[in-house]
Amino acid sequence: MATDKIKILIIEDNSIVVMLLTETLKQIGYEIVGAVASGEQALVDYIILQPDLLIVDIHLEGQLSGIEMVAKIKEERNIAVIYLSGDLTPETISLGKKTKPNGYLKKPIDINQLKTSIEMIDFDDYKN
């Protein structure tokens, strides 16, 4: 799948991080279909926007963590996920692993690592 076809939904509650990700990923050639700050809103928007990839902060606004939100989405649809977090505790990593993410990147984000993580995903594995 070419990069210009990959649709990304950003789930992040820090507006500066959202702006950085949006602009950088657009420059690389990805399509940003939306950005939301809460897991609850992400549960609604992913159905409407049909992204190929979720870029997810683990700690979000609202009641659901990024990990809980991804687990709910994956009950319905297999989707590619990359987590972003400053929280690298063994407990958080263990919880995140249960959702079988495609990557787990530490904040502050290294854009080259994010780009490589996206390029390593075989999006054909996620076609519905």
- Is 124 inside any structural domain? no
- Give the type of residue at 127: K
pLDDT at 128: 60
- Is 60 inside any structural domain? yes
- Quote the CA–CA distance of 16 and 45 in Å, as a whole number: 21
Question: What string of pLDDT tens digits covers the 128 residues of the chain?
Answer: 444 489 999 999 999 999 999 999 999 999 999 999 999 999 999 999 999 999 999 999 999 999 999 999 999 999 999 999 988 899 999 999 999 999 999 999 999 999 999 999 999 998 76
- Is 50 inside any structural domain? yes
- Is 36 inside any structural domain? yes
- Is 111 inside any structural domain? no
Number of domains in the chain: 1
What is the residue whose two structure tokens read 């279909």?
A: 33
- Is 119 inside any structural domain? no
- Is 115 inside any structural domain? no
pLDDT at 127: 76
pLDDT at 1: 47
Give the residue among 75, 31, 40 at the shortest CA–CA distance from 60: 40
CATH number for the domain including 45? 3.40.50.2300
- Is 41 inside any structural domain? yes
Determine the structural domain holding residue 87 and report its residue range. Answer: 3-106
